[in-house]
Amino acid sequence: MGIYLIKRLGASLLTAFIASILVFLVVRMVPGDVVAQMMGQAGDPQAAKSLREFFGLDQPVYVQYITWLLKVLRGDLGSSWTRGMPVTMMVGQAFLVTLEIGLLTLLIATLIGVPLGILSGIYEGRPIDTAVQSLNILGLSAPVFWVGLMLLVAVSGIFSWSPPLRYMPPTRSLGDNLQILALPVISLAVLQVAAYSQFVRQNVVSALRQEYVRTAIAKGVPVRMIFFKHILRNVMIPIITFMGLILIQILGGVVVIESLFALPGLGRLLLTSIETRDYPVLQGALLVVVATAMVINLLIDLTYRLIDPRVRVS
Amino acid sequence: MTDLPGASRAAGAAPQRPLRANPLLRMARREPGLLLGLLLLGAIILVALFPWALVDASPYAVDVTAALKPPSAAHWFGTDDTGRDVLARVVYGTRVTLSICGGSLLISAAIGGVLGLISGFVGGWADQTLGRFVDVLLSFPPIILGVIITGVLGSATINLILALSIVYMPVFFRIARAGTLSEKEKTYVEAARSIGINEPTILRRHVTRNVMPLILTQYMILFPLILQIEAALGFLGLGVQPPAPDWGAILEQGKNYILYAPWMSVFPGLAVLIAALSLMLVGMALQKRIDQR
């Protein structure tokens, strides 16, 4: 386990390192940098030059990268070029918003998707399975942001209600916070419930085909016992690991949803920093997204190894 | 591939009934999802090929006096903020959206597939390096990768195609590589080698042919996903630019009128949903066959 952990961490760090270089380079491929954007068309070349010096843009790219990396290693993501605030703080605040959206979505996806998947798996081929599967395929096909738009139309048409426009953190007013997050979370959850239930169904179906289940049935073990002892226990591992995959999916999905519902999360921070060419913010936000995805993947791997002894042996 | 009598047992668990003469009916009974998917997909392809057969209105014809009109007999899907017929835009958008998605995915399948085949067959440092690079790309959630590339390079169709081609390239790479790794251990490769066929020929003639079905299936599975990413990028204003009729672009345009003129958003979204649905049904049926093999 120890050696595996070191190897796995090493690989993750190397990937993160290459990813950071990639992020750094891609950001600098932008036609027109922040200075050009600040100064507009008729900028004073002298002023532009001194601004570039101020931002360190006159340095060769590798020097800029090393300077940035050394700061990042000390936990300093620099400060925003357009707003002057420390990037660490901006990204941190945005991360909390996205984290709340992600966890709420995961909660709904788990509470609805898992039971639906188990039900449809147990009744494979019956009408209830067909119904659940049809819903799943619909949920998987509908674009997340479109579901959000339709929800907006539906609630305003039916209840003459629309979500508050200004974001409110849960610490200030939980009620307002949940009102704001309700529609975005439901839009994200539609897809994830479908994905989760489809995944759980497949696992239940294949668990039911195992010989130990057949043996248990032949021995006359009560159905309830077969379900809890044999099926659920074996399906639990993939169910838990799939949570991680859902969180990574949501991490991508929030970009569109946050922009649609004007939520100040990581996704919107990414978009606005691209628009304003705010490199430090863009790099910081991307780094956090990639690092979060990596940590989740690492946790998935580790849980697998902890729960399932077979993985440890191979 | 020859069908062994035992091989089909897993597939058709149901007791064998005499086959009906009509293959459509047979498919409807055994794989209703596949049939529905194929029918929808066929209809969508027809719409993409012959949009003018379906609508008279031009997707570009602006008529300010008829702006933001709800669905009616004259405009089935209503009109947009410049009075253009939404039905015409959605119908003509089929070709734009599907060709961008299909083309981009073809590029990723070709490049990712070939690299995966070579990487798996040759192994060694080339495999290591490519694998590492693919890991890096996979560490970004797909849509974020798309947003960065289109956002950084600017909104233009060519940049959109580039972004969409890169998004799923790593997935094709992994599928092709894994397929190649398992194929190259098989006896037929050893046999080909022992009769003196050179390595590139073995890879091209024998391994590739057997990995191909995996890549094709993956293509169908990823198509609905790339369709949604394309729509999302369009919705964010990073995709096809107006006035071109593209589903994502129409949705982006409708966003500002969502409460006053929801029809501008309902129909292009439904188009994405139906296209994704049909592709998904076909992809799932293909995947089932691969799994049974």
pLDDT band at A47 (very low <50, low <70, confident <90, very high): confident
- Please tell me the least confidently modeled range out of B7-16, B86-95, B197-206: B7-16
Q: Which domain holds residue B116?
A: 34-51+82-292
Residue A85 has, within 13 A of its CA and on its CB side, a CA count of 11
Give A9-39 pLDDT, tens digit per residue.
888 888 888 888 888 887 776 666 667 766 7
The per-residue pLDDT for B7 is 42
**Is any Cβ of chain A less than 8 angstroms from the Cβ of B40?**
no
**B120 to A242, B138, B290: CA distances (angstroms):** 28, 18, 20
Asked if the model's pLDDT at residue A40 lies above 90, the reply is no
The per-residue pLDDT for A41 is 61
Cβ of B151 and A137 within 8 Å?
no
Look at residue B74 and tell me if it is in a domain. Answer: no
Taken in order B119, B124, B128, B130, the sign of the CA dihedral is negative
Asked if the model's pLDDT at residue B62 lies above 80, the reply is yes
Partner residue facing B236 (CB), from A22, A26, A259: A259
Look at residue B4 and tell me if it is in a domain. Answer: no
Average pLDDT over chain A reads 87
**Is any Cβ of chain B less than 8 angstroms from the Cβ of A29?**
yes
- Closest Cα of chain A to B51: distance in Å? 23
* List of chain A residues whose C-beta atoms are within 8 Å of the C-beta of residue B140: 19, 286, 289-290, 293
Cα nearest neighbour of A274 on chain B:
B151
Q: What value does the mean pLDDT take over residues A82-101?
A: 93
Give A257-298 pLDDT, tens digit per residue.
999 999 999 999 999 998 888 888 998 999 899 889 889 988
Look at residue B187 and tell me if it is in a domain. Answer: yes
Residue B52: CB atoms within 10 Å: 10
- Please tell me the least confidently modeled range out of A25-34, A145-154, B91-100: A25-34
Asked if the model's pLDDT at residue A165 lies above 80, the reply is no
Cβ of A152 and B140 within 8 Å?
no
Cβ of A149 and B269 within 8 Å?
yes
* List of chain B residues whose C-beta atoms are within 8 Å of the C-beta of residue A20: none
**Which of B228, B270, B274 has the most A C-beta neighbours within 10 Å, making it the best mutation to test the interface with A?**
B228
**Is any Cβ of chain A less than 8 angstroms from the Cβ of B135?**
yes
Give B30-44 pLDDT, tens digit per residue.
888 899 999 999 999
- Closest Cα of chain A to B199: distance in Å? 31
Cβ of A141 and B276 within 8 Å?
yes
Q: Which of A8-22, A228-242, B60-74, B218-232 has the largest mean confidence?
A: B218-232
Look at residue B109 and tell me if it is in a domain. Answer: yes
Look at residue B91 and tell me if it is in a domain. Answer: yes
Average pLDDT over chain B reads 89
**Which of B34, B136, B221 has the most A C-beta neighbours within 10 Å, making it the best mutation to test the interface with A?**
B136
Q: Coil, helix or strand for B79?
A: strand
Residue with the bigger pLDDT between A25 and B229: it is: B229
Q: How many CB pairs under 8 A join A and B?
A: 127
pLDDT band at B220 (very low <50, low <70, confident <90, very high): very high
**Is any Cβ of chain B less than 8 angstroms from the Cβ of A251?**
yes
Helix-, strand-, coil-residue percentages of chain B, each rounded to 5: 70, 0, 25
Q: Which of A185-189, A274-278, B289-293 has the largest mean confidence?
A: A185-189
Q: Which of A51-60, B45-54, B149-158 has the largest mean confidence?
A: B45-54
pLDDT band at A92 (very low <50, low <70, confident <90, very high): very high
Cβ atoms of B261 and B68 within 8 Å: the answer is yes
Asked if the model's pLDDT at residue B19 lies above 60, the reply is no
Partner residue facing B144 (CB), from A149, A162, A252: A252
% of chain A residues with pLDDT over 90: 40
Look at residue B283 and tell me if it is in a domain. Answer: yes
The two tokens of residue A95 are 């991360």
The per-residue pLDDT for B17 is 55
pLDDT band at A234 (very low <50, low <70, confident <90, very high): confident
- CATH number, position B223: 1.10.3720.10
Look at residue B107 and tell me if it is in a domain. Answer: yes
Residue with the bigger pLDDT between B12 and A149: it is: A149
* List of chain A residues whose C-beta atoms are within 8 Å of the C-beta of residue B232: 143-145, 255-256
The per-residue pLDDT for B16 is 53
CA A199 centroid distance within chain: 18
The per-residue pLDDT for A26 is 77
**A42 to A37, A50, A139, B187: CA distances (angstroms):** 11, 16, 50, 70
Q: What value does the mean pLDDT take over residues B215-223?
A: 94
Cβ atoms of A138 and B277 within 8 Å: the answer is yes
The per-residue pLDDT for B8 is 42
Residue with the bigger pLDDT between A43 and B9: it is: A43
Number of domains in chain B: 1
Q: How far apart are CA A62 and CA A65, in angstroms?
A: 5
Look at residue B12 and tell me if it is in a domain. Answer: no
Cβ of A18 and B133 within 8 Å?
yes
Encode burial over B250-267: b for 16+ CB neighbours within 10 A, e otherwise: bbbbbbebbeebbbbbbb
